Structure 1
């Protein structure tokens, strides 16, 4: 595999007689290229070459294992084309490194398909759920946008879909955001179809364990693969279903070139193989809604009466005159009286209470108490924060979150005041305050490196950051969603979508309203995103988000490529790029400090990095990707060293 963009093509080599039997399409080989040995894959055996020059010979066949199947080879090409990347980069994501000892292990013949009885009752609560299962079982390749009910045992539902897809000998790939979700879905699949038919793939596995499980999928020993984003490339023979859970989670976006999103890879694979596709979640992204609007996928949602029966009661402090009369400070309070009342009621009933906060730490963000200017370090200009157990005053010695330097003599650069105030209160400070407010009640934290998977039943307060909410046995009695403005106020195209996703994920862990379950969200009740949570209407919110994106011409309504690099590097790319007619150039603008790491190299000097956005109508997306890939190949051939990063439809546009 040659990483240089101008060498991203197929090369012909002669096969020596001694390798004739082992050199089959899909095997790993070693070849000599430009005087050095490099690794590669044998794609095809042909009798006649179109190359006019002299051909070299394969140096050796590394392994007779045919690891690059024709389907995955085509998928790799499609993904590279979609994201203006190279096949070498995509192959690095799709095929794990070889482990010779694992390949040499004895393997058993593939087990016959699972014979478990499929329980259709869970899917019977969704409109057309039974018909969808029948279509899946019959191998008709249906496509659906599944809106999971609040409180739904979604790992079990995914396992049932996989079981239905494998009844005719097909395979299934289930893609989840993180290890916690993987463990739950894998356990559910084992419960439904048996351990011998399921493997779990994750980056945290060791090289040998990961390769062993990957080979089990390749050889057809495991028909169901459950994994994180890279498992979307799992080489399951005769793929019948590919499903992705919570596609709005940023973990599905690959941080390495060419930066593909697992949802888009799954769509490309489903389209090429004609297999079934399911995108599920408690909320919905604008991208999935666009699939429904186009007719490619169909809604798999429950009737409103079943949604109301399953959902907790959602309350917003200050959403009525009556509430304001009882608690005039409800709109301004971080934890208003109605939230305290909900927590006390749930605790008195013997149920745990979930408290969701947007940030970890103690007081992770400070500002001047007089003029509200953000407090910055005098040494490196990093943000100042308070350590655990401190209070927001000058004696607390605020500490820089970047360099760790304490500033006991802090003065505001704008007005000279020494007083500080908390801009955001973290999980640590929240847990401390609640511990004092609810004396005698156990307080458990789940954030940062200490994330709990589950909590026991019984009265307790669980303070968790967004995405780290543990599952409670029997469900939470109440959930308090604090500092809603911190999620909604982010300067990001997807801020509203992400906020609703985080809130619904937490609210779905709460008991139904009929069992006393209550959710209190501290946010502006007039915001459409807050009202979507109150109504439990993620589909309507996704439709509105898609309409807004179409109005401002951003993904998924249009195709956008973010080009990052120095001003000279970006100019060198645009000079040779034959962009399609109608391409809009937006920018350039300075790139945030956190996104500059790939351009800094070993230099400690600050790097001036800019971002240029290239926008085209959706139908011109392939042409834009081809133009950018060709421009990168031209720069590579001319040995232009200034790096340029290209991300097509990035999750974080800015």
Structure 2
């Protein structure tokens, strides 16, 4: 990365042509021969390494580089690589006086490196302040942040805002405890239930670096198993990091680690802890006082020393996707860390994403699963109610509760609580064949078909109209879209059992646990509380509302949600039963009945490879006002093998409502184009988009264009 003068002048090697022109113009009156700085406004500079290379906290792409500053002698001792500093910055307000620049506001930054000379030939501004002598940015963290920024076409400063928490002076003044001695290697424990589980724990304890995709058995022991993997890593003298999707999961792993390791031997990094406590925990990790970390999404950058294991639980949860620029996914960040740090990697879930299946198919990771007999002993019995059953069921037509579901609830309430999973409001179905339920897709790019005005069909990706669609599976010409009535279904269910207490868990209030006494627990997907002793039964209602979402991952996500609820039910041997209301012939439903998420993911991966869908291909979304998107696509130099799909209109944001992340402002019409490249061209695509966006920012004055690499909602 090239360096610059602190006020935006001098050698910007590799910058866009427009940017170079502006830089040359801004410093044309201040050029002097390159020299080693000795004084600044009469003040002495540091004798050794008087140049500080600084990353300023400006998250804009055309300033995504380092800037050189002079180090005053009084800051020499504190101005060490990795510390926070403040510098003067702002080329637009500077003027040259007597060979030096003045003006510009103070801005935060990180001191990256001390050097003997600067690549810039003009006078250097001096560091204004060392905010704290605490070195918070290590070489390893800087390298990871750069890799993430490059992968997601973002700026290094934006990534570091996600990676380094805000400073708390009181937390820095606390003395961190002495690092504890490594614990003894643990026994395999519940890992013995898996075919290679004991060998995995032994490898971690002996200093090995196994990489595994773990298909966890149903039940509550997953947190205990993660704690054992962490303990085995610590026994080898190395550190471990576990990333989970939410605070409830973090609390369970936190309790399991405390039971396994004892108090004070691991750090919990979540937003609920508050800024000061969280920064204090982060500092304890950076200083090496704590070697084990569990946390939510932001913990993916935790500076664990001598990293030996990276683990992520339930990578399909959308909470792992960062909403702030450059919007990285925790799974991909941990994969980058595993490659950079050459450490062990564990991806675990009750389900299996297509990305996880790809890791196994490529040979990068190995499967870690239990045998079929063990799965059958651990899982509940799964029964289905399809459309044909509902049509013949008088009870279902009268009360929207199938007879089988009513019987299972009645029997389950005799022995304990019953879970009812109801899709939350806002699920919008896609079009599907009315006969065989196969999704309706574009014949050109395989994108989802959507109903436009006057009943016309149009692709949600490339925008082409489809005038004569017919189902490639069964030949039918009829389409259907499911109407979601989840809230009404939950109310009907409560009235069907008036003598039983009803508890709800959802957006307004999410329950963590419920007692083991008989009760109906109505929950939206992902908010299911854990029942003491497990649920006696579970109902998974309105399956078409989940399978019919306009999303490439609808089937995968529906299966993940179902498995997450079914995993909380007692095993079949203890009477546990799950009823799913969905067409039994569909692939996700069959995978649930067989408890075979891996087989489902493998088949999904094969289908996506045939159709050119992610993760086999890499995609980027370009969104913004119509004219801005057209200008951007005309200017960007895409890789030769790139394919542009669209642009197509985006849903107009309702006037008066807050703007959703990445969506158009209220009342404005935006478009979105998708750019698809085959495997191996993802880095070239990210670089091309980043370069074009930086050049656009330098020119200024245009309407905004938003970029997102690997968007989760491509339709």
TM-score by length of 1: 0.86
Q: Aligned residue for 1:133?
A: 201
* Deviation by residue 1:91-150 (Cα, 9 ceiling, x = unmatched): 11111111112212233322223x256131211111111111122122221111000011
Structure 1 position 425 matched with structure 2 position 485: yes
Q: Aligned residue for 1:215?
A: 283
State the distance in 2 between where 1:510 and 1:82 align.
40
Q: Aligned residue for 1:356?
A: 421
* Deviation by residue 1:37-67 (Cα, 9 ceiling, x = unmatched): 1111111122233222222221121111110
Structure 1 position 227 matched with structure 2 position 227: no
Report the CA distance between 1:328 and its aligned residue.
Answer: 7.3
Any conservation in 1 of the 2:652–2:669 contact (CA below 8 Å)? no
Any conservation in 2 of the 1:564–1:570 contact (CA below 8 Å)? yes
State the distance in 2 between where 1:614 and 1:297 align.
28
Report the CA distance between 1:285 and its aligned residue.
Answer: 0.5
Q: Aligned residue for 2:355?
A: 287
Which among 65, 70, 76 is matched to residue 20 of structure 1? Answer: 76
Q: Do the aligned partners of residues 599 and 448 (structure 1) sit closer, same or farther apart at CA in structure 2, a change above 3 Å counting?
A: closer
State the distance in 2 between where 1:600 and 1:226 align.
32
State the distance in 1 between where 2:397 and 2:379 align.
24
Matches within 5 A, 1:11-410: 11-34=67-90, 35-113=104-182, 115=183, 118-318=186-386, 327=393, 334-348=400-414, 350-359=415-424
Which among 563, 566, 575 is matched to residue 507 of structure 1? Answer: 566
Report the CA distance between 1:224 and its aligned residue.
Answer: 1.2
Structure 1 position 653 matched with structure 2 position 714: yes
Q: Do the aligned partners of residues 648 and 83 (structure 1) sit closer, same or farther apart at CA in structure 2, a change above 3 Å counting?
A: same
Q: Do the aligned partners of residues 446 and 540 (structure 1) sit closer, same or farther apart at CA in structure 2, a change above 3 Å counting?
A: same
State the distance in 2 between where 1:598 and 1:93 align.
16
SS in 2 for 1:12: strand
Q: Aligned residue for 1:569?
A: 628
Any conservation in 2 of the 1:431–1:443 contact (CA below 8 Å)? no
State the distance in 2 between where 1:303 and 1:554 align.
31
Report the CA distance between 1:353 and its aligned residue.
Answer: 0.6
Unpaired segments of 5 or more residues in structure 2? 1-56, 91-103, 430-481
State the distance in 2 between where 1:187 and 1:303 align.
28
Structure 1 position 625 matched with structure 2 position 686: yes
Q: Aligned residue for 1:537?
A: 596
Any conservation in 2 of the 1:445–1:464 contact (CA below 8 Å)? yes
SS in 2 for 1:195: coil
Structure 1 position 521 matched with structure 2 position 580: yes
Any conservation in 2 of the 1:318–1:331 contact (CA below 8 Å)? no
Any conservation in 2 of the 1:111–1:196 contact (CA below 8 Å)? no
State the distance in 2 between where 1:447 and 1:598 align.
21
Report the CA distance between 1:599 and its aligned residue.
Answer: 7.7
Q: What is the aligned-residue RMSD (CA, Å)?
A: 2.3
Deviates more, 1:117-126 or 1:551-560: 117-126
State the distance in 2 between where 1:279 and 1:572 align.
41
Q: Aligned residue for 1:415?
A: none
Q: Do the aligned partners of residues 193 and 105 (structure 1) sit closer, same or farther apart at CA in structure 2, a change above 3 Å counting?
A: same
State the distance in 1 between where 2:518 and 2:358 align.
43
State the distance in 2 between where 1:436 and 1:600 align.
39
State the distance in 2 between where 1:496 and 1:431 align.
23
State the distance in 2 between where 1:146 and 1:264 align.
17
Q: Do the aligned partners of residues 324 and 208 (structure 1) sit closer, same or farther apart at CA in structure 2, a change above 3 Å counting?
A: closer
Report the CA distance between 1:165 and its aligned residue.
Answer: 1.0
SS in 2 for 1:457: coil
Any conservation in 1 of the 2:562–2:592 contact (CA below 8 Å)? yes
Report the CA distance between 1:461 and its aligned residue.
Answer: 0.9
Matches within 5 A, 1:478-517: 478-517=537-576
State the distance in 1 between where 2:631 and 2:262 align.
56
Structure 1 position 612 matched with structure 2 position 678: no
Question: Which is greater in Rg?
Answer: 2
SS in 1 for 2:590: helix
Any conservation in 2 of the 1:335–1:482 contact (CA below 8 Å)? no
State the distance in 1 between where 2:606 and 2:583 align.
22
State the distance in 2 between where 1:613 and 1:222 align.
43
Report the CA distance between 1:600 and its aligned residue.
Answer: 8.5
Report the CA distance between 1:549 and its aligned residue.
Answer: 1.4
Q: Do the aligned partners of residues 576 and 209 (structure 1) sit closer, same or farther apart at CA in structure 2, a change above 3 Å counting?
A: same
Any conservation in 2 of the 1:96–1:211 contact (CA below 8 Å)? yes
